[in-house]
Structure 1
Amino acid sequence: MTDQPKFAQIKQHIIDKIRAGAWQENQRVPSENELSDQFQVSRMTARRALSELTESGVLTRSQGLGTFVASFKSQSSLLEIRNIADEVKERGGNYTCIVLSLESISAIAPIAIALGVEMDSLVYRSIIVHNENDAPLQVEERFVNPALAPEYLQQDFSQTTPHEYLTQVAPLTEARHTVEAIMPNEEICQWLDMFNEEPCLQVIRRTWSSHGIVSFARLISSGSKYRLGGHLTFKK
């Protein structure tokens, strides 16, 4: 860590505090002056660290109030975690997929926090388009903790889904997600074969096994082709 530039050391310090739970969502973090005193650096260096973490969504700044830990928009799941291939087959459809990417990447701050790993450490990333009857149904971008699924990159995801594989090697014990409507970018429109700009349904999901956080996934579907549902039973 001592070989890192000072602004990077400050960023890692903040990320470590958030990841350890010492700084909670919406909690105020030290100011530029406080960080410059603590790390014996200029205010400009401290400002760069806070600005870069703000730009990446880890922090949020409020004029006149300070800088705070951003909300990660996670909440307890009320929906059953299902394998999309099973959903398609249960509807009588034909499931196929296209693997667009399967690689190792360096974890930027939001991914590192989501997976509970060091910033810039290697994590696995996959991008897969799930099809129903040869028509794109959902784009899945998933980041995986290599420590819990070391052979992830060696899998043939045309034969099994990431969900199926991860359930086998790191059985699911907890999941949290947020669901929201988004406007897709050009790349998402291309992957989902969308010619008209329309809202998409985006699910951001983190999953845990008994040994830690397994994956962080972004699932995007055309709003006109996909919906989520659930059934809740309340005790009297």
Structure 2
Amino acid sequence: MNGQRQAHCAVELAGESLWLLAHKAVYWPARRMMVVADIHFGKAAAFRALGVPVPRGTTTQNLQALDALLAAHACEEIVFLGDFLHARAAHAAATVAAMQAWRARHPRLRLTLVRGNHDVHAGDPASALRIRMVDEPHTVGALSFCHHPDTVAPGYVLAGHVHPVFHLRAAAGGLRLPCFLLGPSRAILPSFGAFTGGHAVRPGAGESVYVTADTAIFRIPP
């Protein structure tokens, strides 16, 4: 995979074939399941409520990004790895209305949310969204879905929380790009949200980095 630029990278984790997607999500073909971390609905609204002038439209961007995933892959369930809502401001009428309109377009899609630290403070999403709420670890087969990467779990952990980015150095400076960080017992997903920032990571022993850039994903050589 080194040097190849493609829309997804197939990896095997705990004996399961998963796709790391350029659009910052994981697809589990055998289960027709999409896995998304840290979408942080309502984060921009929360900043504006504090008087910070930030752009509008991030909820729409997030929903359009989800639609793009669903259009490209046969999907029966989305699992959100925590921090679905950023704060109580995410319960604002306009934000909730946009999410409910999106949900109405996908009535048969199962939605599962593994509660993260922001979800605890923001409260559960509106019941009309019909999201199944679970605590970490949420284990399906050989995989355990968590928010915090260090959660003790019976399966291979897929988690978020960190918002990992990788500093790709170049002669003209460098780029900070969202990335997947894969290790022997856990994988950390990049933040899916449109307004979430990132934390620079460096791979440790036995870890691999897969960087996403626009519509491409590629592995960083060891």
TM-score band, normalised by the shorter chain? under 0.3
> Per residue, is there more helix in 1 or in 2?
1
Q: TM-score, normalised by structure 1?
A: 0.25
Higher relative contact order, chain-length normalized (CA < 8 Å, sep 6+): 2
Q: Which has the larger radius of gyration?
A: 1
Q: TM-score when scaled to structure 2?
A: 0.26
